[in-house]
Structure 1
Amino acid sequence: MFLFWRIFGLNALVLGAATALLLWAPVTVSVPVLLTEAAVLLSGLAVMLVANAALLGVGLAPLNRLSRLMTTVDLLQPGRRLPVPGRGGLTGLISTFNAMLDRLEAERADASARVLSAQEAERRRIARELHDEVGQSLTAVLLSLSRLADRAPEPLHAELLDAQEVTRESLAEVRRLARRLRPDVLEDLGLSSALISLSTEIAAHTGLAVTRRFPPGLPPLDPEVELVLYRVAQEGLTNVARHADAEHAELELHRADDAVVLRLSDDGHGIGAVREGAGIRGMRERALLVGGRLSVGPNPGGGTLLTLTIPLSREGS
């Protein structure tokens, strides 16, 4: 209602000024209207329209800023707020909008935390079943094939050896999948060892050369932070191997002031103007869970640069 009265007042001001000019100005209107009188009236109308447009532009400017922010806001990039003016009729509207963003970001973070927690639990369950059920079954098949191959004549012996090799490769693949789903080395040996194991495995299976830089001095981290760093590195290396057409990648983990920073760069064709997919948005959601900030963009030396920064002073660390 205040905005209504504000616009009404602006229009009333312009119309009142025009009425006062007509009352006290030495201008008359003849019948029929003379050319000079028509010129004066049209000039007055033009002045009224320009003044009205200028006053409405000033009055509605905060709404325009609010509209632009509403079209560009992204809950995965929190913190963007519209400045609240000290006075004026739109102060309450802008404050309400900022409060709504606070609530939406908190609800999004809470929902993402529950989803990712359930996802990690499901990954652990699948990894355990792969290791305990499928892995043991394949091991039993492998042993049976080995015993049969020892007693079988040619050419059945050679065929059983081929089947044994296929089974052995399948068993290795099952174990590799189980390790990717549930990084036991992260819990047993720590983050650096887990990242070394991850990069070595990806390099062995894809041919991507990975250089690691893990300077000493990294402080102890929460298990939740370590898991986020590991999953972001895992997703980033997988994206490089699948989509970047790169030959070399560099993985770096270090401390910068009061934050821990994970950097992944490659020499591929770069990210360009491609829209962010589910992989990058998933990494952003993980980063938000620990108060981190993820940036993905072009690498100054060519390719793509991914940077994850997590403050060490975050709440609960």
Structure 2
Amino acid sequence: MTGTNLQTLTAALSLYTSFFIFLVVVTFAAFIILMVILIHDIKSRKKLKDNRQFIEETIGVQEEERRRISQELHDTVSQNIKALLLSQKELKDRCTDTNLLSELEKIISLEKKNQKELRAIIQNLAVPALANIPFKTVINDLCEQFYDQSKIPCKFFVAPDLSLDTFTTEQKHHILRIIQEALNNVRTHAKAEETSVVIRRISGQQKAGGLIRIMIFDDGEGFDSENQLPPTDASSHFGISGMEMRAKLLDGTLTVNSSPDTGTEVRLEIPLQ
């Protein structure tokens, strides 16, 4: 194979790489735009926002869109990146030009990074497995997944005498999505060095069985929650609105406390089942 042919193949592979990265970006941009439009519609119909059925339908749309995008990314972009990596490896094995080898190694390294990031995106979008698995284990696995993706340590503590498996599968799903979104905000905005997920029982004045309090802490760059709103870009606004809607479906409350000195705490309180 001549140097000219290798350069042509390298350029083609680089072009394919750029195309697939562009496809991922466009897909998620469309998803965010769809959700922003949906949230705007919810705000314009404030009375409907408090309607449980409407909230359930909205959450259902979100989950179906997550599932669809996750499946499409796995079936198309992920498979194409794998095929590209195989082609690039074969090309590298046949290449004898030192300069071209160096360029190929850079492209392969970029493809592997894209593959890892895409895998993390698919994991976050996919519906979590909840059947026949203790819910404490599922949350612990989520914390470990967060560390693998962000390299931010995530400690998990749940009171030993507290059972979380009395919740229904639907309730577990909402709780997990709230924790997941809070951790996503830590990774995206907080610049934290550590985060924690703590679950314990508290007494409730209005709830006979008491309450479960779920707290997600971080030690990052907080904000003045009394005088300032949290970050207002489209993705974080969508995330906070989604958490609030899920808290309503759990008959619970969601609060965000933050300060520049202590970081941020997301607190979910729900009736003990």
TM-score, scaled relative to structure 1: 0.58
- Residue among 81, 85, 100 paired with 1:138: 81
Partners in 2 of 1:212 and 1:251 — Cα distance?
Answer: 5
Partner of residue 211, structure 2: 259
Structure 2 vs 1, CA of residues 105 and 163 (structure 1 numbering), >3 Å: closer, same or farther?
A: closer
Partner of residue 200, structure 1: 144
Q: Would the aligned equivalents of 1:109 and 1:285 in 2 still touch at CA under 8 Å?
A: no
Provide the secondary structure at the position in 2 that maps to 1:246. Answer: coil
Tell me which structure has the larger Cα radius of gyration: 1
- Residue among 234, 237, 247 paired with 2:183: 237
Partner of residue 274, structure 1: 228
Partners in 2 of 1:231 and 1:239 — Cα distance?
Answer: 12
Listed one character per residue, the Cα deviations across residues 36-76 of structure 1 (whole Å, up to 9, x for unaligned) are xxxxxxxxxxxxxxxxxxxxxxxxxxxxxxxxxxxxxxxx9
Provide the secondary structure at the position in 2 that maps to 1:291. Answer: coil
- Provide the aligned C-alpha RMSD in A: 2.9
Listed one character per residue, the Cα deviations across residues 230-263 of structure 1 (whole Å, up to 9, x for unaligned) are 2211221222333334322221123445433211
Partner of residue 120, structure 1: 63
Partners in 2 of 1:225 and 1:309 — Cα distance?
Answer: 13
Partners in 2 of 1:311 and 1:120 — Cα distance?
Answer: 24
The AA in structure 2 aligned to 1:259 is L
Partners in 2 of 1:170 and 1:164 — Cα distance?
Answer: 10
Percentage identity across paired residues of the two chains: 29
- Report the CA distance between 1:207 and its aligned residue: 4.3
Structure 2 vs 1, CA of residues 243 and 106 (structure 1 numbering), >3 Å: closer, same or farther?
A: closer
Q: Would the aligned equivalents of 2:201 and 2:211 in 1 still touch at CA under 8 Å?
A: yes
State whether structure 2 residue 266 is matched by structure 1 residue 306: yes
The AA in structure 1 aligned to 2:126 is R
Provide the secondary structure at the position in 2 that maps to 1:114. Answer: helix
- Residue among 245, 248, 269 paired with 2:194: 248
Provide the secondary structure at the position in 1 that maps to 2:214. Answer: strand
Partners in 2 of 1:212 and 1:307 — Cα distance?
Answer: 15
The total of aligned residue pairs comes to: 211
Q: Would the aligned equivalents of 1:142 and 1:164 in 2 still touch at CA under 8 Å?
A: yes
- Report the CA distance between 1:107 and its aligned residue: 5.1
Structure 2 vs 1, CA of residues 175 and 244 (structure 1 numbering), >3 Å: closer, same or farther?
A: closer
The AA in structure 2 aligned to 1:162 is K
- Report the CA distance between 1:209 and its aligned residue: 2.9
Partner of residue 219, structure 1: 164
Structure 2 vs 1, CA of residues 281 and 149 (structure 1 numbering), >3 Å: closer, same or farther?
A: same
Structure 2 vs 1, CA of residues 146 and 298 (structure 1 numbering), >3 Å: closer, same or farther?
A: closer
**Unaligned stretches of 5+ residues in structure 1:** 1-75, 77-102
- Report the CA distance between 1:275 and its aligned residue: 2.4
Q: Would the aligned equivalents of 1:292 and 1:311 in 2 still touch at CA under 8 Å?
A: yes
Map residues 1-317 of structure 1 onto 2, 5 A cutoff.
Answer: 104=47, 108-155=51-98, 156-186=100-130, 189=133, 191-216=135-160, 217-220=162-165, 221-256=167-202, 258-272=210-224, 273-275=227-229, 277=232, 278=237, 279-298=239-258, 302-313=262-273
**Unaligned stretches of 5+ residues in structure 2:** 1-41, 203-208
TM-score, scaled relative to structure 2: 0.67
Partners in 2 of 1:239 and 1:206 — Cα distance?
Answer: 11
- Report the CA distance between 1:215 and its aligned residue: 3.5
Listed one character per residue, the Cα deviations across residues 118-160 of structure 1 (whole Å, up to 9, x for unaligned) are 1101101110111122111111111111122112212233332
